[in-house]
Amino acid sequence: MAVISNCTASIIKDAALALKQGYLVAFPTETVYGLGADATNEKAVARIYEVKGRPTDHPLIVHISSMQLLDKWACEIPEYAIKLARAFWPGPMTLVLKRTELAKDFITGGQDTVAIRVPSNTLANQLLREFESLGGNGIAAPSANRFGKVSPTCAEDVMDELSEYLVAKDLILDGGSSIVGVESTIIACTKSDPLILRPGGITASMINNVLDLSIEVETKLARIQIKASGLLESHYSPNARVYLSGTPKTGDGFIALSNFPTPEGAIRLTSPASNQEYARTLYQGLRLADSKKLSNVFVVPPVGDDIAVAICDRLAKSAFMK
Ligand code: TXA
Ligand code: MG
């Protein structure tokens, strides 16, 4: 497998062709890097599950270049979903909609819905357009990490996670660091009102503004209660144990906004100045803990109803006891 950093138009054509031939192409998006396959090719999609080590009943997100292609994959689309698509695509938002015939069980995990996203990253969009010009309908792409692990936000992370599982003709496209840094907001659009299934860069208040609604922002407390109930699997997890309270000892990692001083003896892993930067650097910080072989990471979660909600969601999951 090759990692390509100078992604010229002809490289993007080659990558689209590789996808068409059933190979996997990891590519940057504004949220995190995705591991792409032709969403209509059952064998290629099966390789995604193999390479990630992911259970096959976990459905995938289908990426398309524009909302004009939505009707291929989804039907009975509610008016509010169209409004959301117009407002936030291309961008870090995934809509779960009733599926068409094109969305087979091997994409949806057997559900009658399909998850669709139009990413804004330029390279992702160029790849989708090339792929569609070759007759492709969409690229299935989960985050390009092993199942349960931290999502990759740069090409080196994808290499570290997956290179041993990829074959010679698979590709990794290097488009620099992801600018949002946490996965897309997933919104179920199958009922009379939208429901946020996973918080992300498109926040509840942004959705409320567009739809003139008042969807509740999930509280950190509610998430921690879910966690305590033991229902959640360990997810978004580095090898180090993540603690959301308590004080680090000498040699433990520490992640907090820059206005929190580093406790004596602790190793600062990231020091973001804002919640946006927190999202952008969190996964790098968790990976750094592993490359430094730290046993424990103490995190001061950010506060707020912006992207802090998504950060707290991922932190609560990564802190789940293994
Ligand atoms: O930002 C992102 O969304 C990234 C980039 C690469 O686009 N992708 C991503 O994919 O995070 P993945 O597979 O790591 O997470 C997708 C989530 C899974 O939790 C899956 O269960 C959920 O989307 N999902 C997919 N299809 C669904 C459906 N039909 N109904 C409900 N949830 C669905
Ligand atoms: Mg993932």
Question: How close is the Cα of 259 to the center of ligand 1, in Å?
Answer: 33
HSE value, Cβ hemisphere, 13 Å, CA-based, for 16: 24
| Residue 120 φ/ψ, nearest 5 degrees | -95, -15
Are 100 and 112 in contact by the 8 Å Cβ rule? The answer is no
Question: Looking at 12-21, 86-95, 190-199, 274-283, which range is the least confident one?
Answer: 190-199
H runs (alpha helix) in 21-153: 42-52, 70-73, 79-88, 105-108, 122-133
pLDDT digits (tens, 9 = 90+) for 118-176: 999 999 999 999 999 999 999 999 999 999 999 999 999 999 999 999 999 999 999 99
Q: Give the binding-site residues of ligand 1, using a 6 Å CB cut-off.
A: 29, 31-32, 34, 58-61, 94, 96, 108, 111, 113-115, 117, 141-143, 183-184, 186, 197
Q: Regarding predicted confidence, which is higher, 86 or 229?
A: 86
pLDDT digits (tens, 9 = 90+) for 44-77: 999 999 999 999 889 999 999 999 999 999 999 9
What the chain holds in terms of domains, given with CATH numbers, is 2-223 (3.90.870.10), 241-318 (3.40.50.11030)
Question: Does residue 322 register a pLDDT over 80?
Answer: no
- pTM assigned to the model: 0.95
pLDDT digits (tens, 9 = 90+) for 173-230: 999 999 999 999 999 999 999 999 999 999 999 999 999 888 775 544 444 444 443 3
Q: Which ligand is nearest to the CA of 236?
A: 2
The minimum-distance atom of ligand 1 relative to the CA of 58 is 21
Beta strand 267-270 pairing with 253-255: parallel
